[in-house]
Amino acid sequence: MQPQHQDLSATKLTAVAELSRRQRALRAIWVFLGALSLLLGFIGIFLPVLPTTPFVLLAAACFARGSERFHHWLLTHQRFGPLVSDWQRHHSIPLRAKCLALSMMWVSMGTTAWLMRARPLASVALVACAAAVSMWMLRLPTRPPGGHSNQS
């Protein structure tokens, strides 16, 4: 009976090793998605058509699942850290930030759509994208200046 017991142990060890390989692969995917999101957020600093905040928050969520080290790095980052920790603490967006994001997005998307008016499909797509992002952002809880979220 002893050989059978050893076979079971070997099977369990193989299953554990397979699970850890799977976990490592999943973590690598989360880190890759986090890095991609952070890159898009960084590009969004310079391209007003691409929103920075949602991509940075998505990167934080991916890093939280994939790598404590990268998540900690993002939380302590000079520029992105306050944004992420503020979201994690309050789960709301300050009113000023929401107004600024929406107005900048509509100015840049509206201007781009107007400049591309020779291509009506592209203009409609830009306006539709801006409308979808606006609806999403307006649904997020708003924190008044100096306060906490007004929605629980």
Which of these, 7, 5, 9, 64, lies nearest to 33 by C-alpha position? 64
Output the pLDDT for position 39: 94
Burial letters 106-122, b for 16+ CB under 10 A, else e: bebbeebbeeeeeeeee
Q: What is the pLDDT of residues 24-74, one digit of tens each?
A: 899 999 999 999 999 998 998 887 667 788 889 999 999 999 999 999 999
Output the pLDDT for position 122: 92
Taking residues 3-28, report their average pLDDT: 69
Output the pLDDT for position 33: 96
pTM for the model? 0.64
Output the pLDDT for position 59: 95
Output the pLDDT for position 61: 93
Residue 150 has pLDDT above 60, yes or no: no
CA distance 47 to 29: 26
Output the pLDDT for position 136: 86
Q: How many CB atoms lie within 10 A of CB 141?
A: 14
Cα distance between the two ends of the chain: 60
CA distance 12 to 18: 10
Q: How confident is the model at residue 5 (pLDDT cuts 50, 70, 90)?
A: low
- 37 alpha-carbon distance from chain centroid: 6
CA distance 40 to 122: 21
Q: What is the pLDDT of residues 81-136, one digit of tens each?
A: 888 888 888 888 888 888 888 888 898 889 999 999 999 999 999 899 889 989 98
